[in-house]
Amino acid sequence: MYNDNPTLDHLVKTIDPMRQGEVLDFPGHQEKGNGKLFYIESFGCQMNFSDSEIVAAVLHGAGYRSTRNMEEADLILVNTCSIREKAEDTVRKRLYIYNKVKSSKPGTLIGVLGCMAERMKKNLLEEEKLVDLVVGPDAYRDMPKLLESAEDGHRAINVQLSREETYADISPVRLDSNGVAAFISIMRGCDNMCSFCVVPFTRGRERSRDPFSIVAEARDLFDTGYREITLLGQNVDSYHWKNPETGEEVNFAQLLRMCADVNPDLRVRFSTSHPKDMTDEVLYAMAEKENICNYIHLPIQSGSNRILELMRRGYTREWYMGRIHAIRRIIPECAISSDIIAGFCTETEADHQETLDIIRQAQYSMSYMFYYSERPNTYAQRNLKDDVSLEIKKRRLSEIIALQNSISRQLNQSDIGKTYKVLIEGDSKKSAEDFKGRNSQNKMIIFPKNPGLKPGDYVYVEVLDATSATLKGRITQNPQS
Ligand code: 5AD
Ligand code: SF4
């Protein structure tokens, strides 16, 4: 009914109706449980959190139940991140804590999942004996078998990467969910090979998931009360699926429309976009469909053309600003955020100034900001010198953060007096008297509750006050009453 594109209408209707409602609960499995409990912690990007939900589904299938209490778990898992050295250090510290728990409950198994698995398999399993199980991001289906062999005291390891695995047929078990917003993984891996990035080595080659399974998952979520989905991939703009039988193709803009057409009350977000691949077709889909949120995460990484080339990002600052102007032209209300790295190999003070300059020009609503951390096997590690001192990296990073904070504050203050449609996500952290929710631009807004409203409802909120991180407001009109 809401589909105005005949080609896509056809695609949406071919979704297997048997898949409806199969997400979330495992009543059958509940009865067949093996009495064992698993506890899982996730680090790193949203993709990792989304993967943990696939792991939970695989474990449910094998009879395990989840627990939030590490002490009572038979299996302690950590889904790891390798993107910066600090992330790996954090995981190592956690492993010592898990082993302490294990020492008071022998027989507990400890497993490392995700990006560190490939890199650490030798150390963790053989030398340090900190873990019983090592499972790479493409091997989660193998976990029941690996667990059996770990229980028998054998090495349990599978870090094989795949060119096909998308877990398309696995319905994730939503962990720590607010019941309103969920992530859907639409592709895996990355073919970009940015010179600083370890992801292509830990997560393997890029592959896109069958769009019908994506839309079916979105529909299931909507039917169980969810009102927002975020489509996840390392580079969503290069999403490309081809039907092996008919040759029919679906690109990211088409996938966005298909998801938006599930229901006008289902918000659609996505992350991450790559400046070199983001097409106007995507922007037009966003402008046309009210429920595709006006927010784009478009990492610049550096404002210097020389550094961008060393980073192998595939664009210049001029190209990047061209994309920003296209967004402003086609979706004037769109908020844009970024990732920025300070102190990449050979970065000079002049390069750094160019980064500050592009942050000013782009007017990001927020950014994720890091200093460069050399990663093993990357092009940069093999070919470039990590020659900016830690002190300078940190100083440049703090300048970047200070500038971004002042821009975020200014932009938020210019929202005062405006009214936004907000999806209620739950109680605010600070007060049970207030709700929190986000507007289309992904800004968090806190506002006093109105009786009768609940998470998952949409409300109109007028902004009354702002900091660099949050908006405060009051409900002006309830569109559902
Ligand atoms: N050092 C610092 N930051 C990095 N990122 C990726 N690799 C590194 C690294 N080696 C940042 C990039 C990327 C984000 C997810 O993490 O900004 O967009
Ligand atoms: Fe890493 Fe670049 Fe791929 Fe992002 S696009 S995951 S930064 S290689």
Token digits of residue 263: 């229901």
- Look over the chain and give the mean of its residue pLDDT values, rounded to a whole number: 90
Ligand 1 lining (C-beta closer than 6 Å): 83-84, 196-197, 299, 301, 339, 341, 370, 372-373, 375
Closest by CA position to 268, among listed 251, 249, 285: 285
| pTM for the full predicted model | 0.90
Range with lowest mean pLDDT among 227-236, 392-401, 471-480: 471-480
What structural domains and CATH numbers belong to the chain? 12-158 (3.40.50.12160), 177-293 (3.30.750.210), 297-414 (3.30.750.200), 419-476 (2.40.50.140)
What is the pLDDT, as a whole number, of residue 478?
52
Is the pLDDT score of 5 beyond 60?
A: no
Q: How confident is the model at residue 87 (pLDDT cuts 50, 70, 90)?
A: confident
- Give the pLDDT band of residue 6 (cuts 50, 70, 90): very low
Judge whether residue 23 has pLDDT over 50. Answer: no
Share of the chain above pLDDT 70, in %: 92
Q: Mean pLDDT, to the nearest integer, of 137-143?
A: 96
Span 26-51, mean pLDDT?
79
Is the pLDDT score of 347 beyond 50? yes
- Which residues line the pocket of ligand 2, CB cutoff 6 A? 190, 192-194, 197, 199-200, 234-235, 274
Place of tokens 């080339």: 309
Which pLDDT tens digit goes with each residue over 296-309? 999 999 999 999 99
Atom of ligand 1 nearest to the CA of 373: 1
Burial class (CB in 10 A: 0-12, 13-18, 19+), 273: buried
Which residues, listed in sequence order, are joined to residue 37 by a DSSP beta bridge?
Answer: 65
Q: Which ligand is nearest to the CA of 204?
A: 2
pLDDT at 191: 95
Please tell me the predicted confidence (pLDDT) of residue 12.
25
Which position has the higher pLDDT, 478 or 183?
183
Q: Could you give phi then psi for residue 182, rounded to 5 degrees?
A: -140, 160
Task: Determine the residue type at 328.
Answer: R
> For residue 99, how far is the Cα from the chain centroid?
29
Ligand 1 atom with the shortest distance to the CA of 368: 17
> Regarding predicted confidence, which is higher, 272 or 32?
272
* Helices of type H across 224-316: 252-260, 280-288, 305-311
The alpha carbon of 38 and the centre of ligand 1 are apart by a number of angstroms equal to: 31
